[in-house]
Amino acid sequence: MRIDKKVNILIIFFFGAIWVLALSAEVQAKMEAMPRENKLQIKTIEKLLRTSGLSTRYQEVESILEEYKNIDRKSLKPSQTGFAKNLMRHEKGPRRVLANLRKTFLAGFDRGHAETSIAWFKGRTGQNILRAKIEGNSSDNKNEREKFKKQITVTPPNESRLLVMERILSEEAMVENIQTLFLAYVETMFPFNDNLQGKRLVKVMKMLKNEKAEYIREQVRLQRLFDFRDIKEADLKSYARYLESPAGRWFSFSAINGFAKGTKSTLAEVHKIQKKLLLEIEEGGPEFPLMRQLAPAGQRYLLVRLRDPFKPLFTDQGPVQTQETEIVSMARQFGGELENIPPISLYVMSKIEKKQPELFRKLKYYERLFNNREDLMAMNDDEYADSVEAYRTVLEQASETKVSKTPLQAEYETLKLTGTISKNTEILALIETPDQKGHVVDQGDLIGPRFGFVEEVQPERIIVIEKSRDYLGNILTRQRTIEFAENI
């Protein structure tokens, strides 16, 4: 009995030991397999970053920003771009962005998307696209770029090429990357920019993000048109199709997020060097070793002059941001200044939405802004005046949008209803235009100078409905009538 018990214990122990060993082997196998998989993922991502050109994306964006020194001369003085560049590089901006691109691609790793992207960029079209970007952004081509940008306003590319370019810009990460680094430059220069003294950084950044996005997009559009000037339209369509594919969207999404995270990481270190610079200025020199290392010669005198000995420049919470004294002008009409601008036909608005999406986005942005009295009240007088003028410019651009017209888009006084005819159960109208030609008009046809549509054709008259949008986004409706000449 005791022997049996000992045997049972030995058997249990034996099988237990085997189970533990088996489990340990399984765990060990998983642990060994995991690093191998990670290594494969890392290798794949490294290949993707290198093949796609993302490994030098920071340097590419930095170089493009050198050309865009006038995005907002008040928030980032052209003379301070080099200073901002030095501070970001001092805190290893390129390395931090690349490291965060790696992390972001690995965090959302998708082998299929990665391999598809590598294959596309290694292909003939992908290589041509990358080569065109590098050559187009070269400093050797600066004069040619400027000449191209002037010429394109006189002889723009054909419409189909522009539409393909819009598809590329909508999916490519470059616009977002440039905006990210531009805003980082503004934040980097914030304590040293006398134009922004008394402003709140958060408010400045929000305003720039909303109002300058389209300017940046327009500059990138011109840059890409120059870059791809010798690329066949068929190849551009191939690039657009890749960017619009699941793999392309995964690639661009990761590029946007990785670049943003790397920039944010760099800014955290830049804030420390800002503090050291401000303390050096506060101490009054005379050597200013850190300033000499980082600030271009033209900026040093301005930085020393910036110092007010009775005000602290930096606290443990970061750069001091003076409270704004905001006096709301009694002359403000909260958008009433724009009432004299004619409303825009809804037909024209639909064309703007399809063919000029950046202009459409501006219209919607300012529409929301001027419907928000609280936001308008929060602005100081200069900001409010700038917003009114900016919206006025946008509205005028929209009003000048060229839309194809027919002879029927003439003034109502010059359109003559000469007869009606019945077709099945419908009544069609016969209209004579100023060129003395006849036109058959049916329900739904466009007519009149403001692109009204024919709501109804009656035996004696035509009922036309005009719909338009005012500066607040209100839809205005007006009924017009065209009657037989003898009845007028």
Q: What is the DSSP string of 338-380?
A: GTTSPPEEHHHHHHHHHH-HHHHHHHHHHHHHHT-HHHHHHS-
Which residue would you say has higher pLDDT here, 189 or 434? 189
Mean pLDDT to the nearest integer, 105-113? 95
Q: What's residue 239's pLDDT?
A: 97
Contact of 62 with 266, CB cutoff 8 Å: no
Mean pLDDT to the nearest integer, 160-189? 94
Which residue would you say has higher pLDDT here, 215 or 282? 215
Q: What's residue 324's pLDDT?
A: 43
Which residue would you say has higher pLDDT here, 418 or 60? 60
Whether pLDDT at 88 is above 80: yes
> CB-hemisphere CA count at 13 Å for 364?
11
Which residue would you say has higher pLDDT here, 422 or 3? 422
Burial of 45 (0-12, 13-18, 19+ CB in 10 A): buried
Q: What's residue 488's pLDDT?
A: 39
Question: Using CA atoms, how far apart are residues 44 and 225, in angstroms rounded to an integer?
Answer: 31
Which residue would you say has higher pLDDT here, 244 or 290? 244
Q: What's residue 20's pLDDT?
A: 37
Question: Using CA atoms, how far apart are residues 361 and 367, in angstroms rounded to an integer?
Answer: 10
* Helix, coil or strand: residue 282: helix
Q: What's residue 164's pLDDT?
A: 94
- Of the given ranges (47-56, 105-114, 238-247, 479-488), which has the lowest mean pLDDT? 479-488
Mean pLDDT to the nearest integer, 41-57? 95
382 pLDDT band, cuts 50/70/90, is confident
Mean pLDDT to the nearest integer, 91-115? 95
Whether pLDDT at 99 is above 90: yes
Question: Using CA atoms, how far apart are residues 388 and 366, in angstroms rounded to an integer?
Answer: 9
* Helix, coil or strand: residue 442: coil
Instruction: Tell me the percentage of the chain whose pLDDT exceeds 90.
Output: 33
Q: What's residue 300's pLDDT?
A: 61
Written as six digits, the tokens of 232 are 């066949």
- Of the given ranges (145-159, 274-288, 290-304, 307-321), which has the lowest mean pLDDT? 307-321
Question: Using CA atoms, how far apart are residues 12 and 29, in angstroms rounded to an integer?
Answer: 25
Whether pLDDT at 13 is above 50: no
> In the chain, what are the domains?
38-307 (no CATH), 338-399 (no CATH), 412-487 (2.30.30.830)
Whether pLDDT at 124 is above 90: yes
Of 182-196, 287-301, 306-320, highest mean pLDDT: 182-196
Whether pLDDT at 347 is above 70: yes
Q: DSSP label at 313?
A: -
Tokens 């063919």 -> residue: 355
Which residue would you say has higher pLDDT here, 396 or 383? 396
Which residue would you say has higher pLDDT here, 126 or 415? 126
Q: What's residue 333's pLDDT?
A: 66
308 pLDDT band, cuts 50/70/90, is very low
Burial of 130 (0-12, 13-18, 19+ CB in 10 A): middle
339: phi then psi, degrees, rounded to nearest 5:
-65, -25
Q: What's residue 26's pLDDT?
A: 45
409 pLDDT band, cuts 50/70/90, is confident
- Of the given ranges (81-95, 110-124, 393-407), which has the lowest mean pLDDT? 393-407
Q: What's residue 123's pLDDT?
A: 96
Q: What's residue 130's pLDDT?
A: 95
Average pLDDT value for the chain: 82
Question: Using CA atoms, how far apart are residues 33 and 324, in angstroms rounded to an integer?
Answer: 59
Determine how many CB atoms are found less than 10 A away from the CB of residue 113: 20
Question: Using CA atoms, how far apart are residues 279 and 316, in angstroms rounded to an integer?
Answer: 12
Which residue would you say has higher pLDDT here, 33 or 344? 344
> CB-hemisphere CA count at 13 Å for 487?
12
CB within 8 Å of 223: residues ≥ 6 apart: 64, 67, 136, 137, 145
> 0.85 exceeded by the pTM?
no
Whether pLDDT at 128 is above 60: yes
Whether omega before 286 lies within 30 degrees of 0, making that bond cis, reads: yes
The identity of residue 264, as a single letter, is: K
Contact of 100 with 262, CB cutoff 8 Å: yes
- Of the given ranges (25-29, 211-215, 343-347), which has the lowest mean pLDDT? 25-29
Q: What's residue 307's pLDDT?
A: 46
CA–CA distances in Å: residue 54 to residues 181, 229, 324: 15, 22, 41
Q: What's residue 16's pLDDT?
A: 47
325 pLDDT band, cuts 50/70/90, is very low
Mean pLDDT to the nearest integer, 229-253? 96
Which residue would you say has higher pLDDT here, 374 or 54? 54
319 pLDDT band, cuts 50/70/90, is low
Instruction: Tell me the percentage of the chain whose pLDDT exceeds 70.
Output: 83
